[in-house]
Amino acid sequence: MTDAILVLNAGSSSIKFSVFEAQGGKLEPGVRGQAEGLYTKPRFVAKSAAGAVVAEKSWEEGTTLGHVGGVAHIGGWVSEQLASSRLVGVGHRVVHGGLDYSQPVRLDASVVTSLEKYIPLAPLHQPHNLKPIELLLQRQPDLPQVACFDTSFHRSNPEIAQRFALPAELHDAGVRRYGFHGLSYEYIASVLPKVDARAASGRTVVLHLGNGSSMCALAGGKSVASTMGFTAVEGLMMGTRCGAIDPGVILYLMDQRGMDTRAIEKLIYNQSGLLGVSGISSDMRVLLGHEDPRAALAVDLFLYRIRRELGSLVAALGGIDALVFTAGIGENSAVVRERVIADAAWLGVSIDAAANASGGPRISAADSKVSAWTLPTNEELMIATHTWRLLQGRESS
């Protein structure tokens, strides 16, 4: 019997899952999928490692499966699939580990209580991330569980990079820059030594461009600065999030438009970004293929914000040796990569157009001073690896 690890990533209305099986000392991807529409019109779909749909189930409109039913369905289905392997642990993506968790941690009731402290810091994600954990602790207390955090990788940021220019009391109370997408950056940092030794040991900016987008400055593979901050709405323009905004705008909206917290939350998280500016879609593919000038404006602003933030991260690093593109847009859009690299020509980076069009991985020209890469991220594998190592005692929490 080989070891299998189940990875869960629970959101407000969906739970994504992936199974990894140990083969020859390595974790190999197995089935994956999701249960979505948990409170409206539930649907479960599972795919093989090669991407073929292997199971599907839909529930009637108005059915409330909830997180409880979702986890139960996924757990039951995954157990049936594991013929020659045994589930040794579950790894969870948890958005916030605050200042306490700079590493993944084995979960028990007391750790869950300490993670509940961070719900006010990430109210849109943290409570949902914790639900399957609580449920499995109740129902299968002997099944080991591990939490991996989106913030942990940025705990290496120097104190000054974490600081807002607010009174010290607020900083001490936890109002500081945490940074997110850490599991993605950690994965990229883990593969860089095999890809480009100079990028691994030097100054690299990673662009995680997806529905949620951010950038991270790596020095010798460690995070020293990132564009996200106290929350994941800071920094770059995203699919539906506005990114950096003058805090005075929020005060104006409250005073002059009578908007309350929930209305502003909806505006800055769900109605802004590519969707808000274009009025058409939050999906980069749709906007790139659209003739409406508002679509072009949204894409232009997305790129302009990257250009500005890239300058800031390069300043934090004191120079740059490599650029890495990842996530949905970064991995798939040759046009976006080409435009980012053209904007960054002043840094000494130039593109190999043919390599970029064919998906890299190296997309910079042979004589480019700064190398550029497109690399697929794998947050799930990072979680599975941490979980497996921690449970084997090969990693401490």
For residue 151, which of 82, 81, 229, 239 has the smallest C-alpha distance? 229
In the set 57, 285, 308, 369, which binds ligand ADP (CB under 6 A)? 285
Q: Which two tokens stand for residue 87?
A: 């589930």
Q: Which two tokens stand for residue 64?
A: 């409330």
Residues 323-352 that bind ligand ADP (CB under 6 A): 327-329, 332-333
Q: Which two tokens stand for residue 229?
A: 């901050």
Residues 207-266 that bind ligand ADP (CB under 6 A): 210-212, 239
Shortest CB 62 distance to ligand ADP, Å:
26
- Reply yes or no: is the peptide bond before residue 361 cis, omega within 30 of 0: yes
97 sits near ligand ADP (criterion: CB under 6 A): no
**C-beta of 243 vs 328, nearer to ligand ADP:** 328
Residues 181-210 that bind ligand ADP (CB under 6 A): 210
Shortest CB 291 distance to ligand ADP, Å:
16
Task: Provide, for the chain, the percentages of residues in helix, strand and coil under a 3-state DSSP scheme, each rounded to the nearest 5.
Answer: 40, 20, 35
Helices 109-116 and 126-139: crossing angle in degrees, nearest 10, is 160
In the set 233, 284, 320, 351, which binds ligand ADP (CB under 6 A)? 284
Which stretches does DSSP call E strand in 321-360? 322-326
Shortest CB 183 distance to ligand ADP, Å:
11
Judge whether 196 counts as a catalytic residue: no
**C-beta of 177 vs 337, nearer to ligand ADP:** 337
For residue 380, which of 135, 143, 90 has the smallest C-alpha distance? 90
Residue type, position 209, single letter:
L
Shortest CB 68 distance to ligand ADP, Å:
24
137 φ, ψ (degrees, to nearest 5):
-65, -35
**Residue count, binding to ligand ADP (CB under 6 A):** 13
Question: Annotated catalytic residue: which of 3, 108, 142, 150?
Answer: 150
List residues with catalytic annotation.
150
**Under the rule (CB under 6 A), what is the footprint of ligand ADP?**
210-212, 239, 283-285, 288, 327-329, 332-333
